[in-house]
Structure 1
């Protein structure tokens, strides 16, 4: 398999009046993305492939500008479909997210099933890699489907135990070492 890094978008401006896919990055999120984009190791990657959601596009554009690489947008890389509930206050969101991971074969409150979201993100990443075999890629997306991808790559069952650390998003993992998420600041 061609090597890749999967990066989740960092902090977003939460606005219940705006659809979740349209939320932009905060100033903190943009600053974290700019700092990560300066990591010398990213220069080894020849492609940037991102979700169509605004927060992922903004993150990918920061990386693209720093690396001089255009961003490829992919429809199937979106976060797990939560449109059935829309915005949920944080405690309620966390409760439903817990159930999403704990019951991967079931639709929790109308959300996309975790098993379906996992199949979708695995297929999207695989299809993108197959288009340019041998070209290492940076995938920019979301924490939920990123966790499902990490579980798949590490042959682990779907579980929130593999979720990002609580740093506001902005985490990454390598396909060749999908043992855990690392915060953007954890680069070596």
Structure 2
């Protein structure tokens, strides 16, 4: 059987303007969605679970790794695009800045990491991980914006927000087999994993 590689974004979070964004936790809904997936056998061929260092990603990855009896591997370079210069932005303002971020991938918008830099970073980190995990399915748990950069890289298309996972709070995935192949699925809700 060929190797399957999954990229899963964390589901819904508790938005807390007083907390560092990287420290946000999953909401009750997000936790329930993760537990449902962990209790299924959808990922039974996964032998490696690799997560971003952000709390919401770890809270998604750890129950899945535990259910699979896998060690959780945490990788610093899988974090979401660095937007620490602005910190928390109200939803309406965030959407405006995010649109600018996607529209000008080589430009730092309000001090954010550029989209191109974020893409290079996450692709390099996934390449490094896959060079070690060459057998068995691999589950990467990360974030929507850098996940979209990876998605665009795999499809060989320019960075564009139209390829984003969409609204709904996250908890979506796509699947691919190598960094040289297109994804075998587009963004789909994590609940669809049980149908693979």
Say yes or no: TM over 0.5.
yes
Contact 1:22 1:55 in 2 (8 A): yes
- TM-score after normalising by structure 2: 0.92
Task: For 1:140-159, list aligned pairs within 5 A.
Answer: 140-159=141-160
Q: Which residue of 1 aligns with 2:180?
A: none
Shift of 1:62: 1.3
The 2-side partners of 1:145 and 1:39 are apart by 27
CA distance in 2, matches of 1:44, 1:144: 27
Aligned to 1:36: 37
C-alpha displacement of 1:167: 1.6
CA 1:150–1:58: 2 relative to 1, 3 Å? same
Shift of 1:36: 2.0
Structure 1 position 186 matched with structure 2 position 192: yes
Which residue number in structure 2 is paired with residue 94 of structure 1?
95
Q: Which runs of 5+ in 1 are unaligned?
A: none
Deviation at 1:178?
Answer: 5.0
Report the count of equivalent residues: 188
CA distance in structure 1 between the partners assigned to 2:190 and 2:135 by the alignment: 25
> Which residue in 1 is equivalent to 2:121?
120
Query: Which blocks of at least 5 consecutive residues in structure 2 are unaligned?
Result: 178-182
Q: What's 2:75 paired with?
A: 74
CA contact (8 A) 1:165 1:183 kept: no
Contact 2:8 2:172 in 1 (8 A): yes
TM-score, normalised on structure 1? 0.95
How many Å separate the matches in 2 of 1:18 and 1:36? Answer: 28
1:18 is aligned to 19
SS of aligned partner of 1:140: strand
For the 8 Å contact 2:176–2:185, the answer to whether it is kept is no
Alignment RMSD, CA only?
Answer: 1.4
Measure how far apart 1:179 and its partner are.
4.6
